[in-house]
Amino acid sequence: MQSPNHSPRIAVYPGTFDPVTNGHLDLVDRALKLFDKVVIAIGINPVKESLFTLEERLEMVRETIGTNGRVKITSFDGLLVDLADKYGACAILRGLRAVSDFDYELQRALMNRKLSREIETVFLMTGFRWIYISSTIVKEAARFGGSLEGLVPPLVEERLRKAFRE
């Protein structure tokens, strides 16, 4: 139990979540063991072309997370450290699947550290059963009619199937 003087430990978990996968959800569940609150921050990345609109991604994450008072779902389009500061976060949460992820994530973490010395980046290894999953791979499998069983929540699978039928 928290003492009245304890500041809640808040982590921001950024990503495009296009779409949200079971790997993302596993990371949130595990982060809730370390942090009092997790802010899922769906980024608007002008460099990436998303399959789903921002509104659709927000809706899918909300529907898959359900009502959990310890999880906040939002979007952002500026500096991640500014968003983290807005929510009083002490950490930025990132998942790592392989060594190749680390190079990219290290560069981002160092830049965020330069922009704000108050916010740490915390890396969690992806759960072993999700290590090969990425939103990109899931979309590719859906595009060609592959099985998505166990990779994404059922409602996300439905939306993917519909998106590729249209």
How many angstroms separate the Cα of 115 from the Cα of each of 79, 81, 98, 100, 110?
9, 7, 26, 24, 9
Strand order in the sheet with 120-125: 71-76, 37-43, 10-15, 91-96, 120-125
- The residue annotated as part of the active site, out of 48, 129, 143, 161, is 48
- The residue annotated as part of the active site, out of 50, 135, 139, 159, is 135
97 is catalytic: yes
Q: Retrieve residue 46's tokens.
A: 């002008």
135 is catalytic: yes
- The residue annotated as part of the active site, out of 24, 57, 94, 139, is 24
- The residue annotated as part of the active site, out of 30, 70, 97, 113, is 97
List the catalytic residues: 24, 48, 97, 135
